[in-house]
Structure formats: structure tokens, C-alpha cells
Structure 1
């Protein structure tokens, strides 16, 4: 067996991990309280031992979901810009942000404990997310479809406010309406 073969996870193990991550994310997004490890394994269609093999603790599941969502947000900004005009990319990115907020709310107790212990660096995540927003804003300024005076901090604060008063998924329609109003405010004003 080669070194690469020893280090690469088997295809079924990789599929199980991906399935567990997707199910955990979905369950955290829709849960009023943190789902049990057993419930995550059952929903993913794997045994509890398989779950613990990939994620030995609740914190490891929360960490994996949290980091996966941050990666989706940071890489999502560039991917959206590759296929959409900046204003449309910003609006789609806002939906990704809403998904992240929803997932965080379903794992809040564990996430807060991990932040307090230093296992998750809130400041680092904030910097990454602000950079993602700034990437879209900069492209929008160049294209002329986003305001020059809006900042990444302005948008982040607005999004947090929107998803505080209209948390997802139970208030999707209200959140969508508020996000559309925010987007209207981000478009440059026509002076005439």
C-alpha cells in the first residue's frame, strides 16, 4: 500500500462524513434546541459509531459545521461573482449568510462554550466574513451597481439585525422581504 493510499480516506468513509456534515447542518438550521448526536446519526442513516469515528465529540460536529459554513461564505462570494453581476451576487450571498446564522442558532450553546474557551476564534471569522462582503462590494462599485459609501461593516450589521428579527427558516418570507429592502438601499442613487 502506498503512502497516499494509507492517508486517503476510503470513498465510503468520505461519503459518510459528507452526509453527516450535511445532515448536522440541516438539523442545526431547523432545530429549536441542539439535536442529539444519536439523532444526527439516525437522520444520516449511519450508526452512532460511524458518527463518533468522524466526530468524536459534540464540539467536533459543531466545529465542522461552523467551519464548513464559513468556507461556504468566504468562497461563495467569489463563486457568486464569477457567475452573477455584483448586486445579484450580494443578494444571493445574503441568503448564504442567513443559512449560516440559522445553523449557528441550532448549535448556540456549544458554539458559545467553544468561543469562550478559544476553540473558535470569533475575531478571525468576522475578518473573513467582512473580507467576503468587501469583495462583492468592490466589484459592485466598479460595475456601478452598488453604492460607494456602503461598508462591509454596514452590511454585516444590517444582516445581523435582519436575521435577529426574522430568523430562518421560520420567517423566510419576512427575511427575504427585508433583504430585498436592504438591497434596494445598497443600489446607487440616481441623481438628476
Structure 2
């Protein structure tokens, strides 16, 4: 890439990051180009779709979440590892408002620029789930696709102002549905789960 093209690419990424943080993942691409003081054609030459722009912006975060899952595979308690990763990926989607919808769509669309990253994330979560299932700590009838759907549902909930106050409570409910608590410790709450009363 020529020096001037690289400069435009990096500038567009910087402006897009600011706009998406302010307005969410559905922000106008035309507005991004306008704020970057380039033509819309220049934006599309670098990023032919919204998904391509999001992938460029979020690639390092996706890689970090996948790496984090690999690290947690080696942690002592498989149930704690699974719950911690769920909390972290939901927090990530909350910080990047509106990103959960394109992520869910990308899973089903092999042509999406986000497809590979989202498939990798789903596989990372599925591996943590499989480890917890092998240890008898998670219900055996749940699969990685369903786990990703639960992440999407909880992430969407956090984005809704009227429902967000119940997000922690519902995370605890969902976590309780995923985990298999050993009989001898059923009376003790899981250390990675906060229990709150719904307001």
C-alpha cells in the first residue's frame, strides 16, 4: 500500500472508531467519510462493506478474546473459566454498541468479512463449554452455537436502557441454567456469579 493510501486507511480507521463509539455500529458510513474529509468512494475502496470496516476495527479485540479463551482453558476450575469468558465477551459487546447484530449475522454468512473472526470466537466458547461439560460442571445438552446465542441475547439486553438494570440478574439466571452444580455444594452460590434482586 502506498504511503498516501496507508495514511488515508489509518485516518479512516481512527475516525470510524470515534464515530462507532459515539453512535454504535450502525453509524452512517457517509458521516464517517465526511468527518474524515474524504469521499465516500475512498472509504469504500479501503472498506467495501460495513462488516469489512468493523473487522478492521475489531480484529485485535477478537484475537484477544480468542487468546483469552485459550488461557482460561488452563485455569483450575472449568466452570469459573467459562463464566469469566462469558462475562468478558458480553462486556466487549457492551463497549462496542450495536456490534452484536452484525456478529450474529456474520456467523451465518461465509461471505461476511466478520465471518472468520466470529466463527473463531464461537469455537473458543465451545471449547470452554466442552471442558466444563467433560468435568461435569456444565449441562451436557448445550452446544457452542447455543452458547453463542445466549451471549448474543445477554449482550442485546445490556444495550436496552430499560432492561440493562436486570442484565446482571439475568446473567446469573442463565449461568445457573448452563452450569451443573455438584450435589454436595448446591446450597453454595457459584463464586463467579453475582446474585442480585431484580429491581
TM-score range, shorter chain: 0.5 to 0.7
Higher helix share: 1
Distance 1:172 1:80, change over 3 A: farther
RMSD value, Cα: 4.7
Q: Which runs of 4+ in 1 moved over 6 A?
A: 15-18
Return the match for 1:139 from 123, 127, 131: 131
Q: What is the CA distance between 1:34 and its match in structure 2?
A: 0.9
The alignment status of 1:23 with 2:18, answered yes or no, reads yes
Deviation at 1:168, TM superposition (A): 2.3
1:87 corresponds, among 63, 79, 94, to 79
Decide which of 64, 68, 77 is 1:76's aligned counterpart: 68
CA deviation string 1:124-155 (max 9, x = no partner):
4553233111221233245x473150322331
Distance (Å, rounded) in 2 between the aligned partners of 1:69 and 1:139: 23
Q: How many residues align?
A: 174
Query: Structure 1 residues 190, 84: CA separation in 2 closer, same or farther (over 3 Å shift)?
Result: closer
Q: Under a length normalisation based on structure 2, what TM-score does the superposition of the two structures give?
A: 0.56
TM-score scaled to structure 1, two decimals?
A: 0.57
Match of 1:182 in 2: 174
Is 1:41–1:48's contact at 8 Å kept on the other side of the alignment? yes
Structure 1 runs not aligned, ≥5 long:
1-5
Distance 1:61 1:95 in 2: 25
Highest RCO, 1 vs 2 (Cα 8 Å, sep ≥ 6): 1
Go from structure 1 to structure 2 and tell me whether the alpha carbon gap of 1:121 and 1:17 turns closer, same or farther (over 3 Å shift). closer
Q: Tell whether the 8 Å contact from 1:27 to 1:106 is kept in structure 2 after alignment.
A: no
